[in-house]
Structure formats: C-alpha cells, structure tokens
Amino acid sequence: MTTLADIQAAALRIRDFVHRTPVLTSATLDHELGASLFAKCENLQKCGAFKARGACNAVFALDAATAQRGVITHSSGNHGAALAYAARARGVPCTVVMPDTAPEVKIAAVKSYGASVHFCKASERDAVCARLQQETGAEMVHPFENAHVIAGQGTAALELLEAVPDLDALITPVGGGGLCAGTAVVMRSLRPQAMMLGAEPEAVDDAARSMATGVRQPRVDGAKSWADGLMTGLGEPNFRLLKQHAVRVVTCSESAMLDAAKFFLQRMKIVVEPSAATVLACLRAIAPELRGKRVGMILSGGNTDFRWMQ
C-alpha cells in the first residue's frame, strides 16, 4: 500500500521533470460557497494534466535494463501523453493503446511526444495492450493500478499542503482512482481530521457505489459523459486506499459539470476539461457543509477540444 514516504520519494524523483503548479483563488467562488477555495492547477502541468507526475515517477523508477525495453500503456489520452513525455525524457520507446473514441486533441498530444499509437474499441484495450506487450517486451505502466503511478499522483497534494497547510477539506476527480488514492494518503498523513472527497459524474458512478457498498463495483459500460478522463472503472488497489482513508465520493450531473468548466473559463480565465471540473460541480452540490471552511481542489487537467461548449 502506498505510503507518505513513497510520495515524498516520488516528489524528489520527478522534481526536474514536472511543474510545481500554481494555486489559484477566486473571490467570486469564495462568496458563492461561503468558503475559502484553493485550486491546485494541474491543468497547467506538463502535458496538461496531473498524469505527468505518476508517469515520470514510474518511468524513472525503472532499472536501466527494463527501461531500455520500453514502456506500454492503454489510455484515453492524458496518461498516454504523460507516459510518452516521460519515456522521451528518459530516451526509451513508448507504445500507447487508445480507444477509437479518444478526443483528437489527446491523440495529437500522445503522438507529439513520439509514442507509437494503436487504436481499438474501448472494451478491447486490455487485450490489445497485453498482445503488444508480449510482442515488444515493453514494461506495462498501468494508468492507475501501479504503485509508482499512485505515489507520483500524490505529489500534487503534497505541494498543495505545503502552500496551504491548514485545509479543512480536499477534493479530486475519481476515474481509475490514482490521483484520489495518492491524495488520500497525503491528507490522512498530514491533515487526518480533514474531509477527503472524490468527485465523479453521475453517469459513471462506480466509485460512489463502491464506497457506499464497501465492495468494488464494475465500470459502467456504455455510459455517455463529457468526462472522458473518468470513464474507466475504479482500480482495485485504489479502492483499497480509498476505503482505508475514508474517502467520500460525491457525484454531479453533466450539466453541473459543464457549468463548472465554463466558470473556470469565463471567470478564472483557465481551461479546465470537464473531467476536472467535476470537483467544483461536486463542491457546489454539498455547499452547506463547506461554509467557513478552507477547501482545496485539484484541477486534474485542461486537455479538451471544447466540443462540450454550447
């Protein structure tokens, strides 16, 4: 199980390869929610998302012989681009299996870092990835079920608490659960009494149902959501960490998520993809509980083609 020491070690390993992203505030948002909000802007991270943290930690933790065989993963975009970036930084090959429904902006990003891209149906990505791994001998770097990836993602929360040490609550999006799990480890270690929250669209609510039942639920097949980065199911080690650290998962509607994304664009002048905007949408849903509190939110990414704008 990932520990605070693992995350602190990750922070040292990746510090030369990722940005220390800014923490922004909004008087308008504070007034609306009656709380003090602090947005950790991973939308301004390398590759446009927090995924650079976990990918860099995983790639640079490999021994030389393993790294030279290259790395492989499956991804809807952000992790794929991050792994391609990390592999290029270390000078090793990278293969990314992507669903044929992935946004063009994310496909272009993966290719721009020099990765070899293979497309398939979303339901086939595990099988295709396994076949290519066997053919190439590359090291699989799972988007979220990987200890080094989880530790790397937790470094965003570590930085946020260094900047704002007295948070009463912190929220991250939940897809596979790497970011939320790593963040929960940091929060329970450094702010044990604070609220640890996860944000998820109602259309893909497997994490919320998993936490409510105490049993990991399967991903929602055939779901439609603008949160393309959160369509995957909650990972097994990630679920165990969420349970261990008492994470509460809040859900939001598609319209609330898009309204939140538009708020960031129109009022805070930053591009936040719908997956990341779930954090604000879910905070708005529980606003009465937050009054007078200091609340952190990790804006997980900003890679979007704006098809959701209406």
Instruction: Tell me which residues are annotated as active site.
Output: 51, 76
Distance CA(190)–CA(198), nearest Å, equals 18
> What does the CA dihedral 216, 219, 224, 230 come to, rounded to 10 degrees?
70
Render 168-217 in DSSP notation, one character per residue. Answer: SEEEEE-SSSHHHHHHHHHHHHH-TTSEEEEEEEGGG-HHHHHHHHTSPP
- The phi, psi pair for 23, rounded to 5°, reads -115, 115
Q: Any bridge partners for residue 94, and if so which?
A: 71
Tally of CA atoms within 13 A in the half-sphere of 117 that contains its CB:
22
| Structure tokens belonging to residue 242 | 């969420």
Question: CA–CA separation, 233 vs 210, rounded Å?
Answer: 10
Asked whether the beta carbons of 144 and 150 are under 8 A apart, the reply is: yes
Q: Give the span between the Cα atoms of 125 and 233, in whole angstroms.
A: 13
Q: Are residues 56 and 79 in contact, defined by beta-carbon separation less than 8 angstroms?
A: no
Half-sphere exposure of 146 (CA within 13 A, CB side): 25
What's the DSSP call for residue 50? Answer: T
